[in-house]
Amino acid sequence: MSGNKKTFVITRFDPDRDEAPRQQSYEIEVDPRWKVLDALNHIKDEVDPTLSHRWSCRMAVCGSCGMMVDGKPSLTCKDSLANHGDTVEVAPLANFPIIRDLVVELEGFLDKLKQVKPWIIRAKERAVEEGTHRQSPAEHQEFKQFSMCINCMLCYSACPVVANEPDFLGPAAIALGHRYNLDSRDEGDAERQEIFRGEGTVFSCSYANECSEVCPKNVDPAAAVNQAKFRAVIDWATSFVVPRGGEG
């Protein structure tokens, strides 16, 4: 094989024709500067237009092009071909139902995301004429890391708990809920903590830490999940000292 050729072993699945996913190989000329996504786009454009995959921004912002590359969750627009050998295996994200080829079902994630109420909750909305909510740089810094998530789902495809416990809210959703709990403008902490204490939430996490290892934006969802776990324990313990509704 010449230095500019690579074989791509790609998972294919056509719900109208295939009983189960299968693999198909494509040997193509590649530019060494390409990312994995460039190779997939080349295959779709020049070799096999039936190949289905998601992508959009090509700059690690939209989070659409997450796939398993050589068995690991990867944002394909960020993953250089130079990091891989002569044969590159591309599969849909693990732990997700497969709609077609490399395209997975994301509705289940959106269901989980809604549960953590990922928006600013105020006990009483401030009137417009009172101006914007002010926040210091230090307050912003407390949650900034967790707001960098692009919902690429790599963390879900790396998590062994997601693979085994369907009710688990999962890393990105919990990280986003935790992000709002840390936001000085938010007053929905108690509501979310109630959700975090429930079945299939923060206490399902066994801290494999894989979500943080694969995160392409260094969000560190494992830290968020376990900080939320820590908070839930402290809230539970302090509830014996300061009952709900009491002045803390």
Binding site for other proteins (CB under 8 A): 11, 13, 15-16, 18, 20-21, 23, 68, 71-73, 91, 94-99, 104-105, 107-109, 111, 142, 156-158, 160, 162-166, 182, 206-210, 213, 220, 222-223, 226-227, 229-231, 234, 248
**Smaller CB distance to other proteins: residue 57 or 163?**
163
Q: Which is nearer to other proteins, 38 or 89 (CB)?
A: 89
CB nearer other proteins, residue 81 or residue 214: 214
Q: Which of 38, 154 has the CB closer to other proteins? A: 154
Q: What tokens were used for 110?
A: 């959106």
Q: Which of 119, 125, 245 is nearest to 180 (CA)?
A: 119
The residue among 38 and 195 lying less far from other proteins, judged by its C-beta, is 195
Residue 113: CB minimum distance to other proteins, A: 12
CB of 29 to other proteins, least distance (A): 27
Calpha distance 230→234 (Å, rounded): 6
| Order of all β-strands in the sheet with 87-91 | 22-29, 5-12, 87-91, 66-69, 72-75
CB of 125 to other proteins, least distance (A): 25
Q: CB of residue 4 vs other proteins: minimum separation in angstroms?
A: 27
Give the number of other Cβ atoms within 10 Å of residue 139's Cβ. 14
CB of 16 to other proteins, least distance (A): 8
What dihedral angle (degrees, nearest 10) is formed by the CA atoms of 224, 170, 218, 67? 180
- Determine the Cα–Cα distance for residues 64 and 151; give it in Å rounded to an integer: 8
DSSP letters, 10-64, are EEE--TTT-SS-EEEEEEEE--TT-BHHHHHHHIIIII-TT-------SSSSS--
Task: Specify the residue, 35 or 178, whose C-beta has the smaller distance to other proteins.
Answer: 178
CB of 247 to other proteins, least distance (A): 12
Distance, in Å, from the CA atom of 237 to the CA atom of 178, rounded to the nearest integer, reads 19
